Structure 1
Amino acid sequence: MSDVLLDGIALTAEQVRDVARDGGRVLVHPDGATRAGAAHRTVAALSAAGGVYGRTTGVGANRLIAVEYESSAGPVILGPEGSVVTGDSAPQQPVRHDPHGLRLLRSHAGGAGPLLDPISVRAMLTVRLNQLAAGGSGVAPDVLIGLETALNRGLTPPVHAFGGIGTGDLPALAVTALCLLGEVPWRGGSMEPVPFDPADALSFISSNAGSIGEAALACADLSELLRAGTVITALAFLACDGNSEAYEAVVHLARPHPGQQTVAARLRDLLAGQAVKPARIQDPYSYRAVPQVHGPALDAVVALERTLGIELNAPAENPLVDPVGNRVLHNANFHTAYLGLALDAMRNALYQTAALSVARLSLLLEPAFTGLTPFLAAGPPGSSGLMILEYVAHSALGALRLNATPTSLATAVVSRGVEEHAPFSSQAARNSLDAVASYRVVLATELVAAVRALRMRGAAPVDGPLADAYRYVAERLPDRLDDRPLDQDVEDAAALLPALARFEG
Structure 2
Amino acid sequence: MNTQTVTLDPGHVNLALLRRIHAGGVQLQMAASTAEGLLAAQAAVQRIVDHDEVVYGINTGFGKLASTKIGSDHLAELQRNLVLSHSVGTGDPIDAAVVRLILATKAVSLARGHSGVRPALVEALLGLFNAGITPVIPCKGSVGASGDLAPLAHMACVLIGEGEAFTAEGERVSGREAMKRVGLEPIVLGPKEGLALLNGTQVSTAFALAGLFGAENVFASALMSGALSIEAIQGSIKPFDARIHAARGQAGQIAVAAAVRAALDGSAIIPSHPDCGRVQDPYSIRCIPQVMGACLDNLSHAARVLVIEANAASDNPLVFTDTGEVISGGNFHAEPVAFAADIIALAVSEIGAITERRLALLLDTGLSGLPPFLVHDGGLNSGFMIAQVTAAALAAENQCLANPSSVTSLPTSANQEDHVSMATYGGRRLQDMVRNTAVIVGIEAMAAVQGIELKRTPASLRSSKPVENEIARIRQKVAFMERDRYLAPDIEAMQQWALRADLPAALLDFLPSHA
How far does residue 460 in structure 1 lie from its aligned partner after superposition? 6.4
Alpha-carbon distance in structure 2 between the residues aligned to 1:345 and 1:55: 37
What residue identity is the alignment partner of 2:496? A
Aligned position for 2:484: 483
Alpha-carbon distance in structure 2 between the residues aligned to 1:30 and 1:196: 24
- Find 1:328's aligned residue among 326, 329, 332: 326
Alpha-carbon distance in structure 1 between the residues aligned to 2:14 and 2:386: 39
Aligned position for 1:76: none
- Find 2:179's aligned residue among 191, 203, 210: 191
Alpha carbons of structure 1 residues 141 and 500: separation in structure 2 relative to 1, 3 Å: closer
Q: Is the partner of 1:130 in helix, strand or coil?
A: helix
Q: Is the partner of 1:291 in helix, strand or coil?
A: helix
For residues 171-223 of structure 1, give each alpha carbon's deviation from its aligned partner in whole angstroms, at most 9, with x where no partner exists: 11112222111122323342233333242111111111111111111111212
For residues 311-351 of structure 1, give each alpha carbon's deviation from its aligned partner in whole angstroms, at most 9, with x where no partner exists: 01111221111123322221111112111112212212332
> Contact 2:215 / 2:344 at 8 angstroms: preserved in 1?
no
Alpha-carbon distance in structure 2 between the residues aligned to 1:261 and 1:255: 9
What residue identity is the alignment partner of 2:105? V
Aligned position for 1:94: none
How far does residue 307 in structure 1 lie from its aligned partner after superposition? 0.5
Alpha carbons of structure 1 residues 208 and 297: separation in structure 2 relative to 1, 3 Å: same
Task: Please identify the structure whose Cα radius of gyration is greater.
Answer: 1
- Find 1:69's aligned residue among 65, 68, 72: 72
Alpha-carbon distance in structure 2 between the residues aligned to 1:299 and 1:100: 46
How far does residue 443 in structure 1 lie from its aligned partner after superposition? 0.7
Q: Which runs of 5+ in 2 are unaligned?
A: 168-172, 508-515
How far does residue 53 in structure 1 lie from its aligned partner after superposition? 1.3
What residue identity is the alignment partner of 2:198? I
Aligned position for 1:152: 130
Tell me whether 318-327 or 379-388 shows the greater mean CA deviation.
379-388
Aligned position for 2:12: 10
> Contact 1:32 / 1:135 at 8 angstroms: preserved in 2?
yes
For residues 409-468 of structure 1, give each alpha carbon's deviation from its aligned partner in whole angstroms, at most 9, with x where no partner exists: 111222222221111111110122221111111111111111111122226643443333
Alpha-carbon distance in structure 1 between the residues aligned to 2:451 and 2:323: 67
Alpha-carbon distance in structure 1 between the residues aligned to 2:12 and 2:261: 34
Alpha-carbon distance in structure 2 between the residues aligned to 1:272 and 1:63: 65
Aligned position for 1:54: 57
- Find 2:152's aligned residue among 173, 197, 201: 173
> Contact 2:6 / 2:28 at 8 angstroms: preserved in 1?
yes
- Find 1:349's aligned residue among 336, 347, 350: 347
How far does residue 305 in structure 1 lie from its aligned partner after superposition? 0.9
Question: TM-score scaled to structure 2, two decimals?
Answer: 0.88
Aligned position for 2:259: 266
How far does residue 504 in structure 1 lie from its aligned partner after superposition? 3.4
Tell me whether 299-308 or 263-272 shows the greater mean CA deviation.
263-272
How far does residue 233 in structure 1 lie from its aligned partner after superposition? 0.7
> Contact 1:248 / 1:264 at 8 angstroms: preserved in 2?
yes
For residues 472-492 of structure 1, give each alpha carbon's deviation from its aligned partner in whole angstroms, at most 9, with x where no partner exists: 333443234221111222222
Confirm whether residue 363 of structure 1 aligns to residue 361 of structure 2: yes
Aligned position for 1:396: 394
What residue identity is the alignment partner of 2:398? L
Q: Is the partner of 1:426 in helix, strand or coil?
A: helix
Alpha-carbon distance in structure 1 between the residues aligned to 2:340 and 2:154: 28
| Paired-residue identity, % | 28
> Contact 1:412 / 1:422 at 8 angstroms: preserved in 2?
yes
Alpha-carbon distance in structure 2 between the residues aligned to 1:40 and 1:279: 74
Q: Is the partner of 2:72 in helix, strand or coil?
A: coil
Alpha-carbon distance in structure 1 between the residues aligned to 2:392 and 2:162: 46
Tell me whether 243-252 or 25-34 shows the greater mean CA deviation.
25-34
Alpha-carbon distance in structure 2 between the residues aligned to 1:59 and 1:295: 46
What residue identity is the alignment partner of 1:61? K
Q: Is the partner of 1:4 in helix, strand or coil?
A: strand
Alpha-carbon distance in structure 1 between the residues aligned to 2:366 and 2:122: 62
- Find 1:412's aligned residue among 403, 407, 410: 410
Alpha carbons of structure 1 residues 32 and 440: separation in structure 2 relative to 1, 3 Å: farther
Alpha-carbon distance in structure 2 between the residues aligned to 1:265 and 1:439: 23
Alpha-carbon distance in structure 1 between the residues aligned to 2:482 and 2:134: 45
Aligned position for 2:511: none
How far does residue 367 in structure 1 lie from its aligned partner after superposition? 2.1
> Contact 1:466 / 1:503 at 8 angstroms: preserved in 2?
no
CA RMSD, Structure 1 to Structure 2 (Å): 2.1
How far does residue 362 in structure 1 lie from its aligned partner after superposition? 1.0
Alpha-carbon distance in structure 2 between the residues aligned to 1:183 and 1:371: 64
Confirm whether residue 299 of structure 1 aligns to residue 322 of structure 2: no
For residues 137-195 of structure 1, give each alpha carbon's deviation from its aligned partner in whole angstroms, at most 9, with x where no partner exists: 11211111211121122222221122211111111111222211112232334223333
Q: How does 1:415-454 map to 2 (within 5 A)?
A: 415-454=413-452
What residue identity is the alignment partner of 2:473? Y
Alpha-carbon distance in structure 2 between the residues aligned to 1:423 and 1:164: 10
How far does residue 120 in structure 1 lie from its aligned partner after superposition? 2.5
What residue identity is the alignment partner of 1:247? F
> Contact 1:465 / 1:504 at 8 angstroms: preserved in 2?
no
- Find 1:219's aligned residue among 212, 221, 234: 212
How far does residue 405 in structure 1 lie from its aligned partner after superposition? 0.8
Confirm whether residue 204 of structure 1 aligns to residue 197 of structure 2: yes
Q: Is the partner of 2:469 in helix, strand or coil?
A: helix
Q: Is the partner of 2:12 in helix, strand or coil?
A: coil
Alpha-carbon distance in structure 1 between the residues aligned to 2:401 and 2:142: 17
How far does residue 299 in structure 1 lie from its aligned partner after superposition? 0.6
Alpha carbons of structure 1 residues 499 and 479: separation in structure 2 relative to 1, 3 Å: farther
Alpha carbons of structure 1 residues 213 and 180: separation in structure 2 relative to 1, 3 Å: same
Aligned position for 2:279: 281
